[in-house]
Homo-oligomer: A and B are copies of this chain.
């Protein structure tokens, strides 16, 4: 079902493709300065309407390529959080070099997370990894600047101590290279750090492929070089351009919500919809909720802080 302005959407549908359209005139623009307020606007914005359809059981998942902050805010306010979740987290499934895959979270839903939030991300991420079939007991790693338990900033050291005390398969601090090679199936971090890590992967892949293209073309004829490199570079893009992979999942809200990149092409939107459908069919939210139910309830002043929606 498409959610948006029917007058604008209908003419864009190819002949013969008769998708239902939920008409809705409101929009949160990409550059909305305060998306958390914008999602409560009148007329109701499409992202809010989509979440309402989800809450009312008229849809089983929601996909949006609009502003991430707006999607998060709409999901937060309309769907609500799972019990035991203080802050939803954005997670992404990333290929490892050993052929496995890695759930990375949080990638930017939160900044200034407290240690207890990282513990919740770990539990949610692990449940998600199980749904995805990443092993019987997907291992949890904590992104850090060194492997020793004393490494990390205050937040990471405290989160590590709490995770080690829980009945979760926690492998301790993990550095980026070890995570990509297969040290864990779930890599947990604060959203500021995770977002920078993600953007550094994308930026580095761009830098490296640019250098390689220049160097190979310097050696080979342009034609031979292009023949050799085109499929290889496409493969690198597939494996490092996470934006093209169909979207990130917002974990911790009462519904399957996939956040697509604003520059998604048709193929990325297609992947995002398939991804959302699979998560819904696999009972993702129920399984994440069950995992959160096994976490001991934490009563500490950490949780007094309101979530920061950017």
Chain A positions within 8 Å of B, measured between CB atoms, are 33, 97, 108, 111-112, 143-146, 150-154, 156, 175-177, 179-180, 190-193, 195-197, 199-212, 215-216, 219-220, 225, 227-229, 231-233, 235-236, 239-240, 310
Contact = CB atoms under 8 A, between A and B. Distances in A.
Contact of A236 (B211, B231, B240): B211
Given A111-B152, A153-B112, A232-B216, A145 B207 contact: no
B154 A112 contact: yes
A124 to B, nearest CB: 20
Contact of A231 (B112, B153, B196, B219): B219
A56 to B, nearest CB: 33
Contacts of A180: 203-204, 206-207
A207 to B, nearest CB: 5
Contact of A151 (B152, B154, B193, B310): B310
A228 B216 contact: yes
A231 B231 CA distance: 20
Nearest to A208: B208
Given A145-B192, A177-B199, 14 more contacts: A146-B310, A152-B192, A180-B203, A180-B206, A180-B207, A192-B193, A193-B193, A196-B196, A200-B204, A204-B208, A208-B236, A212-B236, A219-B231, A225-B228
Chain copies in complex: 2
Contact of A199 (B111, B145, B203, B225): B145
A232 B219 contact: yes
A252 to B, nearest CB: 19
B207 A143 contact: no
A28 to B, nearest CB: 16
A212 to B, nearest CB: 5
Residue of A175, A192, A206 with highest tally of chain B CB at under 10 A: A192
A58 B104 CA distance: 50
Given A152-B111, A177-B206, A240-B208, A215 B201 contact: no
Contacts of A195: 145
17 contacts: A111-B145, A111-B152, A111-B154, A144-B196, A145-B195, A145-B196, A175-B203, A176-B202, A180-B207, A193-B196, A197-B197, A208-B240, A211-B235, A215-B231, A215-B235, A216-B228, A219-B231
A200 B201 contact: yes
Contacts of A153: 111-112, 190, 192
A175 B192 CA distance: 11
Contacts of A97: 206-207, 210
A152 B190 CA distance: 12
Contacts of A108: 145
A173 to B, nearest CB: 11
Nearest to A31: B148
Contacts of A236: 208, 211-212, 215
A234 to B, nearest CB: 9
